[in-house]
Amino acid sequence: MLKQMLIVAERVAKDSEALAELRGSGFECVVAAGGEEALRHLDASPFGIVVVDVTEPTSGGADLVNRVWERSPRADVIAIVPRGRRTAELDAVRLKTADFVTEPVDPGELADRARRIQGRRREAAEASGGGAPEGALPRDIVGASPEITELMRVVRRVATSTSTVLMTGESGTGKEVIAHAIHSLCERTRGGPFIPVNCAAIPDTLLESELFGYVHGSFTGARGDKKGLFELAHGGTLFLDEIGEMSVNLQAKLLRVIEEKAIRPLGGTQLVRIRSRLLCSTHRDLK
């Protein structure tokens, strides 16, 4: 469990009460003077939580939040945002963070948010039984050939990130097995659900509502709200098998989900933030 916290927020760093509250909760706090210094710290050692004040120009703001995601996928970000102000950039920040607090920062609230994140991490670790030993193969994968060894090297590397992954190969070569291995080896997802969907087996009109959900009255027969698979996969993995069979129109909507980390249910007006990882596969040569 990573208890190291990187603070890229001058007002928190200068607040002795806030630092005392965080350290009293067991966090080892490291302060960075700005965005570039923060990235150097991230490259040098792992951090469980990164606190970013997006209102401070020196912090790097929304850009730093994106770069933390890229460089340290295991780190959760808590953003400090302006109270009551909403812009497209701030909405994007909210969608890409584990949590956020508004200014002025209340030390107790910040520590509470950090403890909650640690609690979710602990629950995920306990649910997964602590994960597989380093170098061990998932139970569904058998082999010791150079090809399997190289494949698992790539799988373990991919599992440490939160990136969307595309697996290609002929039908029957085990793409779903590899997807499940990535899910089970990933610290962020292995405590959550693994939901596979065969895109070739579901008509496009139905697939959209299955993925994004819908609200009451959005179409004939929609007699209540229904959560989509993206939302049901919260904290885990959504595996879209045979992604090449999905229509171009639905692929465009899927791209928006990947970019914004949020969905809008059919007939809905509000974005729903998602924390599920997306894995895809196809037997086609997409290029």
Listed residue (197, 212, 286) closest to 248, CA to CA: 286
Q: What is the pLDDT of residues 153-178, one digit of tens each?
A: 888 888 888 789 999 999 888 899 99
CATH of 146-282, one of 2.130.10.10, 3.40.50.300, 3.40.50.12780, 3.40.50.12280: 3.40.50.300
> Would you say residue 2 has pLDDT above 80?
no
Lowest mean pLDDT among 36-40, 78-82, 201-205, 214-218: 214-218
Arithmetic mean of pLDDT over the chain: 82
Question: Does residue 71 contact residue 43 with C-beta atoms inside 8 Å?
Answer: yes
Confidence grade of residue 141 (pLDDT, cut at 50, 70, 90): confident
Q: Does domain 4-127 have CATH number 3.90.180.10?
A: no
DSSP the chain: ---EEEEE-HHHHT-HHHHHHHHHTT-EEEE-SSHHHHHHHHHHS--SEEEEETTSGGGTHHHHHHHHHHH-TTPEEEEEE-TT---HHHHHHHHTSSEEEESSPPHHHHHHHHHHHHHHHHHHHHHTTT-PPTTPPPTT----SHHHHHHHHHHHHHHTS---EEEE--TTS-HHHHHHHHHHH-TTTTTS-EEEEEGGGS-HHHHHHHHHEE-TTSSTT--S-EE-HHHHTTTSEEEEETGGGS-HHHHHHHHHHHHHSEE--BT--S-EE---EEEEEESS---
Which residue ranges does the chain devote to CATH 3.40.50.2300?
A: 4-127
pTM: 0.53
Which residue ranges does the chain devote to CATH 3.40.50.300?
A: 146-282
